Structure 1
Amino acid sequence: MGSLATHFSAFLFLFPIGIRRLLSSFSLYLKSPHLFRSQPWHLSQPAWKNIDLYVLLIALPIAAFSEFFWFITFSGHPTYRFTFFLQSSVLFLLWVVIISVVLHVNFDFFAVQENLLFLFAGISFLIEYSITDQGYTGLAGRTYELLGALTLVSAASCIVLSIKPTAFFADVVLSMSLVFKGTWVLQAGLYLFSDAIAPKGCHKMPLLPVDGKSDLDCVLEEDRLRGVALIDLLFIVHAIMIFILNFLLFGVLSYKRNLRASGAGNLLTAEIESESMLMRSLPDFEIEISQV
Protein backbone atom coordinates (compact mmCIF):
# COMPACT_ATOMS: atom_id res chain seq x y z
CA MET A 1 0.00 0.00 0.00
CA GLY A 2 1.31 3.40 -0.91
CA SER A 3 1.37 6.22 -3.40
CA LEU A 4 3.85 8.56 -5.03
CA ALA A 5 3.11 11.16 -2.33
CA THR A 6 3.87 8.78 0.55
CA HIS A 7 7.09 7.63 -1.09
CA PHE A 8 8.18 11.23 -1.64
CA SER A 9 7.41 12.00 2.01
CA ALA A 10 9.59 9.07 3.07
CA PHE A 11 12.37 10.42 0.85
CA LEU A 12 12.15 13.83 2.57
CA PHE A 13 12.40 12.04 5.91
CA LEU A 14 15.25 9.62 5.19
CA PHE A 15 17.59 11.41 2.77
CA PRO A 16 18.32 14.56 4.84
CA ILE A 17 18.83 12.50 8.01
CA GLY A 18 21.30 10.25 6.22
CA ILE A 19 23.27 13.17 4.74
CA ARG A 20 23.35 14.93 8.12
CA ARG A 21 24.63 11.79 9.84
CA LEU A 22 27.33 11.30 7.21
CA LEU A 23 28.59 14.87 7.55
CA SER A 24 28.53 14.76 11.35
CA SER A 25 30.19 11.34 11.56
CA PHE A 26 32.96 12.30 9.15
CA SER A 27 33.57 15.59 10.99
CA LEU A 28 33.82 13.89 14.40
CA TYR A 29 36.10 11.19 13.05
CA LEU A 30 38.43 13.64 11.30
CA LYS A 31 38.58 15.76 14.44
CA SER A 32 39.70 12.88 16.65
CA PRO A 33 39.65 9.35 15.22
CA HIS A 34 40.62 7.70 18.52
CA LEU A 35 37.87 9.49 20.47
CA PHE A 36 35.09 8.88 17.95
CA ARG A 37 31.79 7.77 19.46
CA SER A 38 28.56 7.49 17.52
CA GLN A 39 25.43 9.27 18.75
CA PRO A 40 21.75 8.61 18.01
CA TRP A 41 21.49 12.22 16.83
CA HIS A 42 24.42 14.50 16.10
CA LEU A 43 23.53 17.91 17.53
CA SER A 44 24.85 21.15 16.04
CA GLN A 45 25.59 24.61 17.33
CA PRO A 46 23.87 27.05 17.31
CA ALA A 47 20.61 25.43 18.41
CA TRP A 48 18.59 26.57 15.38
CA LYS A 49 20.57 24.14 13.22
CA ASN A 50 18.75 21.31 15.01
CA ILE A 51 15.37 22.43 13.66
CA ASP A 52 15.01 19.17 11.74
CA LEU A 53 15.02 17.27 15.06
CA TYR A 54 12.01 19.25 16.27
CA VAL A 55 10.27 18.91 12.91
CA LEU A 56 10.52 15.13 13.31
CA LEU A 57 9.21 15.47 16.86
CA ILE A 58 5.99 16.87 15.39
CA ALA A 59 5.82 14.97 12.10
CA LEU A 60 6.38 11.42 13.38
CA PRO A 61 3.34 11.24 15.70
CA ILE A 62 1.15 12.68 12.92
CA ALA A 63 2.40 10.02 10.51
CA ALA A 64 1.96 7.29 13.14
CA PHE A 65 -1.62 8.39 13.85
CA SER A 66 -2.38 8.47 10.11
CA GLU A 67 -1.19 4.88 9.71
CA PHE A 68 -3.20 3.81 12.78
CA PHE A 69 -6.27 5.57 11.41
CA TRP A 70 -5.94 3.58 8.17
CA PHE A 71 -5.59 0.42 10.26
CA ILE A 72 -8.90 1.15 11.97
CA THR A 73 -10.88 2.28 8.94
CA PHE A 74 -9.41 0.19 6.10
CA SER A 75 -11.87 -2.44 4.88
CA GLY A 76 -9.70 -4.07 2.21
CA HIS A 77 -7.52 -7.16 2.35
CA PRO A 78 -6.30 -8.07 5.89
CA THR A 79 -2.69 -8.17 4.71
CA TYR A 80 -2.66 -4.44 4.06
CA ARG A 81 -4.63 -3.64 7.20
CA PHE A 82 -2.06 -5.38 9.42
CA THR A 83 0.70 -3.59 7.53
CA PHE A 84 -0.80 -0.24 8.52
CA PHE A 85 -0.65 -1.28 12.18
CA LEU A 86 3.01 -2.34 11.99
CA GLN A 87 3.97 0.82 10.11
CA SER A 88 2.30 2.84 12.84
CA SER A 89 4.31 0.91 15.45
CA VAL A 90 7.58 1.60 13.62
CA LEU A 91 6.88 5.33 13.47
CA PHE A 92 5.90 5.34 17.13
CA LEU A 93 9.17 3.65 18.17
CA LEU A 94 11.17 6.15 16.15
CA TRP A 95 9.19 8.94 17.82
CA VAL A 96 10.16 7.54 21.23
CA VAL A 97 13.81 7.69 20.17
CA ILE A 98 13.44 11.33 19.08
CA ILE A 99 11.65 12.26 22.33
CA SER A 100 14.42 10.64 24.35
CA VAL A 101 17.07 12.61 22.45
CA VAL A 102 15.23 15.92 22.96
CA LEU A 103 14.71 15.29 26.69
CA HIS A 104 18.31 14.22 27.13
CA VAL A 105 19.54 17.42 25.48
CA ASN A 106 17.26 19.88 27.26
CA PHE A 107 16.96 18.33 30.73
CA ASP A 108 20.00 17.17 32.68
CA PHE A 109 17.97 14.97 35.00
CA PHE A 110 16.73 12.84 32.08
CA ALA A 111 19.56 10.40 31.53
CA VAL A 112 19.13 7.73 28.88
CA GLN A 113 21.64 5.22 27.61
CA GLU A 114 22.56 5.87 23.98
CA ASN A 115 23.01 2.11 23.53
CA LEU A 116 19.33 1.66 24.39
CA LEU A 117 18.28 4.24 21.79
CA PHE A 118 20.26 2.45 19.11
CA LEU A 119 18.62 -0.81 20.19
CA PHE A 120 15.14 0.75 19.90
CA ALA A 121 16.00 2.04 16.43
CA GLY A 122 17.29 -1.40 15.42
CA ILE A 123 14.07 -3.07 16.62
CA SER A 124 11.96 -0.58 14.67
CA PHE A 125 13.97 -1.29 11.51
CA LEU A 126 13.51 -5.03 12.03
CA ILE A 127 9.74 -4.55 12.30
CA GLU A 128 9.81 -2.46 9.14
CA TYR A 129 11.83 -5.17 7.39
CA SER A 130 9.21 -7.79 8.26
CA ILE A 131 6.48 -5.86 6.41
CA THR A 132 8.40 -4.19 3.59
CA ASP A 133 7.43 -6.59 0.79
CA GLN A 134 4.20 -7.92 2.30
CA GLY A 135 1.35 -7.92 -0.22
CA TYR A 136 3.52 -7.39 -3.30
CA THR A 137 4.65 -9.67 -6.09
CA GLY A 138 6.49 -9.46 -9.40
CA LEU A 139 8.02 -6.07 -10.15
CA ALA A 140 6.65 -4.46 -7.01
CA GLY A 141 7.80 -7.40 -4.91
CA ARG A 142 11.35 -7.14 -6.27
CA THR A 143 11.42 -3.38 -5.70
CA TYR A 144 10.36 -3.67 -2.06
CA GLU A 145 12.57 -6.71 -1.53
CA LEU A 146 15.59 -4.54 -2.29
CA LEU A 147 14.21 -1.83 -0.01
CA GLY A 148 13.87 -4.47 2.70
CA ALA A 149 17.53 -5.42 2.28
CA LEU A 150 18.52 -1.80 2.94
CA THR A 151 16.28 -1.76 6.01
CA LEU A 152 17.98 -4.90 7.29
CA VAL A 153 21.38 -3.22 6.86
CA SER A 154 20.11 -0.25 8.91
CA ALA A 155 18.87 -2.60 11.64
CA ALA A 156 22.18 -4.49 11.78
CA SER A 157 24.14 -1.23 11.98
CA CYS A 158 22.00 0.04 14.88
CA ILE A 159 22.45 -3.22 16.77
CA VAL A 160 26.24 -3.10 16.26
CA LEU A 161 26.31 0.51 17.50
CA SER A 162 24.23 -0.44 20.54
CA ILE A 163 27.00 -2.89 21.46
CA LYS A 164 30.00 -0.85 20.29
CA PRO A 165 29.27 2.90 19.85
CA THR A 166 32.87 3.53 18.77
CA ALA A 167 32.41 1.51 15.57
CA PHE A 168 32.97 4.20 12.93
CA PHE A 169 32.36 1.79 10.06
CA ALA A 170 28.93 0.80 11.45
CA ASP A 171 27.97 4.46 11.84
CA VAL A 172 28.93 5.21 8.24
CA VAL A 173 27.02 2.15 7.00
CA LEU A 174 23.95 3.29 8.95
CA SER A 175 24.15 6.77 7.45
CA MET A 176 24.68 5.44 3.93
CA SER A 177 21.79 3.01 4.29
CA LEU A 178 19.47 5.86 5.29
CA VAL A 179 20.56 7.89 2.25
CA PHE A 180 20.17 4.81 0.05
CA LYS A 181 16.72 4.05 1.50
CA GLY A 182 15.68 7.63 0.79
CA THR A 183 16.71 7.59 -2.85
CA TRP A 184 15.40 4.08 -3.42
CA VAL A 185 11.99 4.70 -1.85
CA LEU A 186 11.63 7.71 -4.17
CA GLN A 187 12.69 5.53 -7.11
CA ALA A 188 10.09 2.93 -6.06
CA GLY A 189 7.36 5.56 -5.94
CA LEU A 190 8.23 6.85 -9.40
CA TYR A 191 8.63 3.35 -10.83
CA LEU A 192 5.45 1.82 -9.41
CA PHE A 193 3.00 4.71 -9.16
CA SER A 194 3.71 6.78 -12.27
CA ASP A 195 2.77 5.82 -15.81
CA ALA A 196 5.39 8.23 -17.16
CA ILE A 197 8.29 6.25 -15.60
CA ALA A 198 6.71 2.79 -15.46
CA PRO A 199 8.46 0.08 -17.55
CA LYS A 200 7.47 -0.21 -21.18
CA GLY A 201 4.33 -2.28 -21.55
CA CYS A 202 3.30 -1.88 -17.90
CA HIS A 203 0.86 0.42 -16.11
CA LYS A 204 1.19 1.90 -12.64
CA MET A 205 0.11 -0.09 -9.61
CA PRO A 206 -3.39 0.57 -8.18
CA LEU A 207 -3.59 2.43 -4.89
CA LEU A 208 -6.28 0.12 -3.46
CA PRO A 209 -5.63 -3.45 -4.65
CA VAL A 210 -8.45 -5.94 -4.21
CA ASP A 211 -6.42 -9.06 -3.41
CA GLY A 212 -3.40 -9.52 -1.18
CA LYS A 213 -0.83 -9.46 -4.00
CA SER A 214 -0.30 -6.17 -5.78
CA ASP A 215 1.90 -5.58 -8.82
CA LEU A 216 2.24 -3.50 -11.97
CA ASP A 217 -0.17 -4.36 -14.75
CA CYS A 218 2.08 -5.64 -17.55
CA VAL A 219 0.73 -6.74 -20.94
CA LEU A 220 3.38 -9.40 -21.67
CA GLU A 221 5.58 -11.55 -19.48
CA GLU A 222 8.58 -10.24 -21.42
CA ASP A 223 7.70 -6.72 -20.27
CA ARG A 224 7.59 -7.92 -16.67
CA LEU A 225 10.99 -9.66 -16.95
CA ARG A 226 12.48 -6.59 -18.60
CA GLY A 227 11.13 -4.49 -15.75
CA VAL A 228 12.75 -6.74 -13.13
CA ALA A 229 16.10 -6.48 -14.92
CA LEU A 230 15.72 -2.71 -15.04
CA ILE A 231 15.00 -2.62 -11.29
CA ASP A 232 18.22 -4.51 -10.57
CA LEU A 233 20.18 -2.17 -12.84
CA LEU A 234 18.71 0.92 -11.17
CA PHE A 235 19.60 -0.47 -7.76
CA ILE A 236 23.22 -0.91 -8.83
CA VAL A 237 23.29 2.65 -10.22
CA HIS A 238 21.91 3.99 -6.94
CA ALA A 239 24.55 2.04 -4.99
CA ILE A 240 27.37 3.42 -7.13
CA MET A 241 26.10 6.98 -6.76
CA ILE A 242 25.78 6.62 -2.97
CA PHE A 243 29.35 5.33 -2.70
CA ILE A 244 30.64 8.18 -4.87
CA LEU A 245 28.74 10.68 -2.72
CA ASN A 246 30.21 9.09 0.41
CA PHE A 247 33.80 9.42 -0.82
CA LEU A 248 33.20 12.96 -2.08
CA LEU A 249 31.83 14.14 1.26
CA PHE A 250 34.71 12.56 3.16
CA GLY A 251 37.24 14.02 0.73
CA VAL A 252 35.82 17.54 0.90
CA LEU A 253 35.63 17.53 4.71
CA SER A 254 39.16 16.12 4.96
CA TYR A 255 40.50 18.75 2.54
CA LYS A 256 38.82 21.61 4.43
CA ARG A 257 40.15 20.36 7.76
CA ASN A 258 43.69 20.02 6.40
CA LEU A 259 43.39 23.52 4.94
CA ARG A 260 42.37 24.97 8.29
CA ALA A 261 45.13 23.04 10.06
CA SER A 262 47.68 24.32 7.55
CA GLY A 263 46.50 27.90 8.05
CA ALA A 264 46.68 27.58 11.81
CA GLY A 265 50.14 26.02 11.53
CA ASN A 266 51.42 28.87 9.36
CA LEU A 267 50.04 31.42 11.81
CA LEU A 268 51.70 29.64 14.75
CA THR A 269 55.00 29.49 12.85
CA ALA A 270 54.82 33.22 12.11
CA GLU A 271 54.21 34.00 15.80
CA ILE A 272 57.15 31.82 16.87
CA GLU A 273 59.47 33.49 14.33
CA SER A 274 58.31 36.92 15.50
CA GLU A 275 59.05 36.06 19.13
CA SER A 276 62.41 34.61 18.16
CA MET A 277 63.44 37.80 16.33
CA LEU A 278 62.38 39.88 19.33
CA MET A 279 64.48 37.76 21.67
CA ARG A 280 67.52 38.13 19.39
CA SER A 281 67.27 41.93 19.54
CA LEU A 282 67.07 42.08 23.35
CA PRO A 283 70.83 41.52 24.05
CA ASP A 284 71.82 44.38 21.74
CA PHE A 285 69.40 46.63 23.54
CA GLU A 286 70.81 45.63 26.92
CA ILE A 287 74.41 46.28 25.73
CA GLU A 288 73.52 49.83 24.67
CA ILE A 289 71.98 50.52 28.11
CA SER A 290 75.07 49.21 29.94
CA GLN A 291 77.36 51.43 27.83
CA VAL A 292 75.33 54.47 28.73
Structure 2
Amino acid sequence: MRNNLAYSALNYFGESNLDRVHLLRKDEAWIAARLQDPETILVPFQGMKPLLTAENQLQLVRLAQVQLQNLAQPPILLGLRHDKAYFAIDVTNAPEVPLAGGVYQELREATLQLARPDSGLLAYAKAILYWNRQNQFCSVCGSPTLFSEAGHVRKCSNPVCNTSHFPRTDTAVITMITCGDKGLLARQASWPAGMYASIAGFLEPGETLESAVAREVLEETGLKVHHVQYHSSQPWPFPASIMVGFIAEAESPDLIIDPQEIDDARWFTREEVKELVAAGELSLPPALSISYRLIQDWLNG
Protein backbone atom coordinates (compact mmCIF):
# COMPACT_ATOMS: atom_id res chain seq x y z
CA MET A 1 0.00 0.00 0.00
CA ARG A 2 1.32 3.43 -0.95
CA ASN A 3 2.26 5.87 1.84
CA ASN A 4 0.05 8.81 0.84
CA LEU A 5 1.63 11.08 3.44
CA ALA A 6 5.06 10.61 1.92
CA TYR A 7 3.64 10.68 -1.62
CA SER A 8 2.04 14.10 -1.13
CA ALA A 9 5.25 15.38 0.46
CA LEU A 10 6.93 14.83 -2.92
CA ASN A 11 4.83 17.67 -4.36
CA TYR A 12 6.32 21.15 -4.15
CA PHE A 13 5.08 22.99 -1.03
CA GLY A 14 4.17 19.62 0.49
CA GLU A 15 7.15 19.41 2.85
CA SER A 16 8.21 22.03 5.38
CA ASN A 17 10.14 20.04 8.02
CA LEU A 18 8.31 22.14 10.61
CA ASP A 19 6.57 21.41 13.90
CA ARG A 20 3.59 23.78 13.95
CA VAL A 21 3.33 23.64 17.79
CA HIS A 22 -0.36 24.51 17.66
CA LEU A 23 -0.77 24.08 21.43
CA LEU A 24 1.67 26.93 22.03
CA ARG A 25 -0.15 29.52 19.92
CA LYS A 26 -2.20 30.57 22.96
CA ASP A 27 0.82 30.70 25.26
CA GLU A 28 1.59 34.42 25.28
CA ALA A 29 4.53 34.01 27.65
CA TRP A 30 6.15 31.42 25.37
CA ILE A 31 5.55 33.63 22.30
CA ALA A 32 7.05 36.64 24.06
CA ALA A 33 10.10 34.62 25.07
CA ARG A 34 10.64 33.41 21.52
CA LEU A 35 10.38 36.99 20.23
CA GLN A 36 13.17 37.95 22.63
CA ASP A 37 15.34 34.99 21.66
CA PRO A 38 18.14 36.09 19.28
CA GLU A 39 18.06 32.63 17.69
CA THR A 40 14.47 33.13 16.50
CA ILE A 41 14.13 33.38 12.72
CA LEU A 42 11.86 35.74 10.82
CA VAL A 43 10.60 35.06 7.30
CA PRO A 44 9.96 38.48 5.69
CA PHE A 45 7.43 39.17 2.93
CA GLN A 46 6.79 42.37 1.04
CA GLY A 47 3.66 42.50 -1.11
CA MET A 48 3.29 38.73 -0.61
CA LYS A 49 6.80 38.19 -2.01
CA PRO A 50 9.36 36.38 0.18
CA LEU A 51 12.85 37.71 0.72
CA LEU A 52 15.38 35.49 -1.08
CA THR A 53 19.07 35.74 -1.78
CA ALA A 54 20.33 36.37 -5.29
CA GLU A 55 20.95 32.61 -5.53
CA ASN A 56 17.28 31.91 -4.66
CA GLN A 57 18.08 30.64 -1.20
CA LEU A 58 15.75 31.30 1.71
CA GLN A 59 16.89 34.58 3.26
CA LEU A 60 16.58 34.26 7.03
CA VAL A 61 16.48 37.37 9.17
CA ARG A 62 17.37 37.31 12.84
CA LEU A 63 15.44 39.43 15.28
CA ALA A 64 18.33 41.77 15.96
CA GLN A 65 18.03 43.02 12.38
CA VAL A 66 14.36 44.00 12.56
CA GLN A 67 12.41 46.67 14.45
CA LEU A 68 9.23 44.79 15.28
CA GLN A 69 7.32 47.90 16.28
CA ASN A 70 7.37 49.10 12.65
CA LEU A 71 5.46 46.09 11.32
CA ALA A 72 1.87 46.42 10.09
CA GLN A 73 0.91 43.43 12.24
CA PRO A 74 2.70 41.29 14.83
CA PRO A 75 4.88 38.38 13.69
CA ILE A 76 2.89 35.24 12.93
CA LEU A 77 4.15 32.03 14.50
CA LEU A 78 4.92 29.32 11.95
CA GLY A 79 6.46 26.77 14.30
CA LEU A 80 9.76 25.17 15.25
CA ARG A 81 12.48 23.81 13.00
CA HIS A 82 15.56 22.32 14.62
CA ASP A 83 14.41 23.83 17.94
CA LYS A 84 14.39 27.36 16.50
CA ALA A 85 11.16 29.37 16.31
CA TYR A 86 10.09 30.69 12.90
CA PHE A 87 7.76 33.66 12.43
CA ALA A 88 6.37 35.20 9.23
CA ILE A 89 6.44 39.01 9.05
CA ASP A 90 4.83 41.40 6.59
CA VAL A 91 7.10 44.39 5.94
CA THR A 92 5.01 45.80 3.08
CA ASN A 93 4.12 48.96 4.97
CA ALA A 94 7.38 49.19 6.85
CA PRO A 95 10.07 49.99 4.25
CA GLU A 96 12.29 51.46 6.96
CA VAL A 97 12.74 48.04 8.58
CA PRO A 98 16.45 47.16 8.24
CA LEU A 99 16.98 43.75 6.67
CA ALA A 100 19.93 41.77 5.40
CA GLY A 101 20.66 41.82 1.69
CA GLY A 102 18.25 39.98 -0.58
CA VAL A 103 15.55 40.37 -3.18
CA TYR A 104 11.79 40.04 -2.80
CA GLN A 105 10.72 37.53 -5.44
CA GLU A 106 7.49 35.91 -6.61
CA LEU A 107 7.28 32.52 -4.93
CA ARG A 108 5.82 30.88 -8.04
CA GLU A 109 8.88 31.89 -10.07
CA ALA A 110 11.51 31.06 -7.46
CA THR A 111 10.15 27.76 -6.15
CA LEU A 112 12.07 25.38 -8.41
CA GLN A 113 15.37 26.82 -7.16
CA LEU A 114 14.42 26.41 -3.49
CA ALA A 115 15.02 23.43 -1.26
CA ARG A 116 11.76 21.48 -0.90
CA PRO A 117 11.37 22.14 2.85
CA ASP A 118 11.95 25.87 2.27
CA SER A 119 9.30 25.99 -0.47
CA GLY A 120 6.85 24.42 1.96
CA LEU A 121 7.76 26.87 4.70
CA LEU A 122 7.28 29.84 2.37
CA ALA A 123 3.96 28.50 1.08
CA TYR A 124 2.72 28.24 4.66
CA ALA A 125 4.00 31.72 5.51
CA LYS A 126 2.48 33.30 2.41
CA ALA A 127 -0.90 31.67 2.99
CA ILE A 128 -1.21 32.71 6.65
CA LEU A 129 -0.02 36.26 5.92
CA TYR A 130 -2.53 36.52 3.08
CA TRP A 131 -5.38 35.27 5.29
CA ASN A 132 -4.58 37.83 7.99
CA ARG A 133 -4.43 40.63 5.43
CA GLN A 134 -7.75 39.64 3.85
CA ASN A 135 -9.64 39.29 7.13
CA GLN A 136 -9.21 42.65 8.80
CA PHE A 137 -12.97 42.95 9.28
CA CYS A 138 -15.58 40.58 10.65
CA SER A 139 -17.68 38.92 7.95
CA VAL A 140 -20.60 38.71 10.40
CA CYS A 141 -20.95 42.30 11.63
CA GLY A 142 -18.27 44.30 9.79
CA SER A 143 -16.30 45.35 12.88
CA PRO A 144 -12.48 45.28 12.85
CA THR A 145 -10.91 41.98 13.82
CA LEU A 146 -8.08 41.56 16.30
CA PHE A 147 -4.90 39.51 15.88
CA SER A 148 -5.04 36.46 18.17
CA GLU A 149 -3.31 33.14 18.88
CA ALA A 150 -0.07 34.18 17.21
CA GLY A 151 -1.87 35.01 13.95
CA HIS A 152 -3.98 31.87 13.61
CA VAL A 153 -7.25 33.41 14.82
CA ARG A 154 -8.82 36.81 14.24
CA LYS A 155 -11.45 37.83 16.77
CA CYS A 156 -14.22 40.31 16.17
CA SER A 157 -13.67 43.45 18.27
CA ASN A 158 -17.42 43.90 18.75
CA PRO A 159 -18.20 42.34 22.16
CA VAL A 160 -21.79 41.65 21.09
CA CYS A 161 -20.61 39.65 18.05
CA ASN A 162 -17.31 38.26 19.42
CA THR A 163 -16.94 35.87 16.47
CA SER A 164 -13.65 33.99 16.11
CA HIS A 165 -12.43 33.65 12.52
CA PHE A 166 -10.06 30.86 11.52
CA PRO A 167 -7.87 30.48 8.42
CA ARG A 168 -9.68 29.13 5.38
CA THR A 169 -8.32 27.26 2.38
CA ASP A 170 -10.14 26.97 -0.95
CA THR A 171 -10.33 23.32 -2.05
CA ALA A 172 -9.78 22.48 -5.71
CA VAL A 173 -9.76 19.11 -7.45
CA ILE A 174 -7.42 18.35 -10.33
CA THR A 175 -7.68 15.18 -12.39
CA MET A 176 -5.70 13.18 -14.91
CA ILE A 177 -8.36 11.54 -17.10
CA THR A 178 -7.59 8.37 -19.00
CA CYS A 179 -9.47 6.24 -21.52
CA GLY A 180 -7.72 3.02 -22.41
CA ASP A 181 -4.11 3.86 -23.27
CA LYS A 182 -4.79 7.57 -23.82
CA GLY A 183 -4.75 10.54 -21.47
CA LEU A 184 -6.71 13.78 -21.75
CA LEU A 185 -4.94 17.14 -21.68
CA ALA A 186 -6.72 20.49 -21.96
CA ARG A 187 -5.82 24.16 -22.15
CA GLN A 188 -7.26 27.57 -21.38
CA ALA A 189 -7.09 30.38 -23.93
CA SER A 190 -5.02 32.56 -21.56
CA TRP A 191 -2.19 30.02 -21.31
CA PRO A 192 0.98 30.18 -23.41
CA ALA A 193 0.60 28.67 -26.87
CA GLY A 194 0.96 24.89 -26.85
CA MET A 195 0.55 24.43 -23.09
CA TYR A 196 -1.81 21.67 -21.96
CA ALA A 197 -2.60 20.42 -18.46
CA SER A 198 -5.09 18.35 -16.50
CA ILE A 199 -8.70 19.33 -15.69
CA ALA A 200 -9.22 21.32 -12.48
CA GLY A 201 -11.96 23.17 -10.64
CA PHE A 202 -13.13 24.24 -7.21
CA LEU A 203 -15.14 22.17 -4.78
CA GLU A 204 -18.70 23.45 -4.30
CA PRO A 205 -20.75 23.40 -1.06
CA GLY A 206 -22.33 20.06 -0.27
CA GLU A 207 -20.02 18.12 -2.61
CA THR A 208 -17.66 15.24 -2.02
CA LEU A 209 -14.27 15.49 -3.66
CA GLU A 210 -15.13 12.60 -5.98
CA SER A 211 -18.40 14.28 -6.99
CA ALA A 212 -16.52 17.50 -7.73
CA VAL A 213 -14.18 15.57 -10.03
CA ALA A 214 -17.11 14.05 -11.93
CA ARG A 215 -18.94 17.38 -12.19
CA GLU A 216 -15.94 19.43 -13.32
CA VAL A 217 -14.94 16.88 -15.94
CA LEU A 218 -18.50 16.65 -17.26
CA GLU A 219 -18.94 20.43 -17.34
CA GLU A 220 -15.71 21.12 -19.18
CA THR A 221 -15.36 18.12 -21.49
CA GLY A 222 -18.72 16.32 -21.58
CA LEU A 223 -17.04 13.15 -20.30
CA LYS A 224 -18.53 10.85 -17.69
CA VAL A 225 -15.89 9.31 -15.43
CA HIS A 226 -15.71 6.40 -13.04
CA HIS A 227 -13.00 4.78 -10.91
CA VAL A 228 -12.05 8.14 -9.39
CA GLN A 229 -8.87 7.45 -7.40
CA TYR A 230 -7.00 9.76 -5.06
CA HIS A 231 -3.41 10.52 -6.10
CA SER A 232 -1.95 13.17 -3.77
CA SER A 233 -2.49 16.75 -2.61
CA GLN A 234 -0.59 20.02 -2.72
CA PRO A 235 -0.84 23.33 -0.87
CA TRP A 236 -1.19 26.03 -3.52
CA PRO A 237 -0.60 29.52 -2.05
CA PHE A 238 -1.73 31.48 -5.14
CA PRO A 239 -3.40 32.83 -3.19
CA ALA A 240 -4.85 30.21 -0.78
CA SER A 241 -5.87 26.80 -2.11
CA ILE A 242 -5.31 23.11 -1.58
CA MET A 243 -5.10 21.08 -4.79
CA VAL A 244 -6.43 17.53 -4.38
CA GLY A 245 -5.20 15.31 -7.20
CA PHE A 246 -7.08 12.38 -8.72
CA ILE A 247 -6.91 9.91 -11.58
CA ALA A 248 -10.19 8.96 -13.28
CA GLU A 249 -11.26 6.74 -16.17
CA ALA A 250 -13.65 8.10 -18.82
CA GLU A 251 -16.55 5.89 -19.91
CA SER A 252 -16.03 6.94 -23.55
CA PRO A 253 -13.60 9.18 -25.46
CA ASP A 254 -16.34 11.40 -26.96
CA LEU A 255 -15.65 15.03 -26.08
CA ILE A 256 -18.12 17.92 -25.84
CA ILE A 257 -15.96 20.92 -24.95
CA ASP A 258 -17.42 23.92 -23.14
CA PRO A 259 -15.69 26.88 -24.87
CA GLN A 260 -16.37 29.13 -21.90
CA GLU A 261 -14.36 26.83 -19.66
CA ILE A 262 -11.53 25.57 -21.88
CA ASP A 263 -10.04 26.43 -25.25
CA ASP A 264 -9.19 22.89 -26.32
CA ALA A 265 -8.94 19.31 -25.06
CA ARG A 266 -7.30 16.33 -26.77
CA TRP A 267 -6.56 12.67 -26.20
CA PHE A 268 -2.88 11.73 -26.39
CA THR A 269 -0.98 8.49 -26.12
CA ARG A 270 2.08 8.50 -23.90
CA GLU A 271 4.34 8.29 -26.94
CA GLU A 272 2.61 11.27 -28.57
CA VAL A 273 3.08 13.45 -25.49
CA LYS A 274 6.77 12.58 -25.23
CA GLU A 275 7.37 13.17 -28.94
CA LEU A 276 5.46 16.47 -29.07
CA VAL A 277 7.19 17.79 -25.95
CA ALA A 278 10.59 16.81 -27.37
CA ALA A 279 9.72 18.59 -30.63
CA GLY A 280 8.64 21.76 -28.81
CA GLU A 281 5.09 21.49 -30.13
CA LEU A 282 3.54 20.74 -26.73
CA SER A 283 4.42 22.08 -23.30
CA LEU A 284 3.31 20.83 -19.91
CA PRO A 285 2.55 22.89 -16.79
CA PRO A 286 5.46 24.01 -14.59
CA ALA A 287 7.20 21.25 -12.65
CA LEU A 288 6.19 22.88 -9.36
CA SER A 289 2.50 22.07 -9.98
CA ILE A 290 0.63 18.90 -9.08
CA SER A 291 -0.73 18.88 -12.63
CA TYR A 292 2.80 18.21 -13.88
CA ARG A 293 3.17 15.40 -11.35
CA LEU A 294 -0.13 13.79 -12.38
CA ILE A 295 0.88 13.87 -16.03
CA GLN A 296 4.38 12.55 -15.36
CA ASP A 297 3.06 9.67 -13.26
CA TRP A 298 0.71 8.73 -16.11
CA LEU A 299 3.55 9.01 -18.65
CA ASN A 300 5.63 6.70 -16.49
CA GLY A 301 2.82 4.18 -16.42
Q: Which TM-score bucket, shorter chain as reference?
A: under 0.3
TM-score, normalized by length of structure 1?
0.26
- Using the size of structure 2 for normalisation, the TM-score is 0.26
Larger helix proportion of the pair: 1
**RCO higher in 1 or 2 (8 Å CA, sep ≥ 6)?**
1
Higher strand proportion? 2
Whichever of the two has the greater Rg, that structure is 1
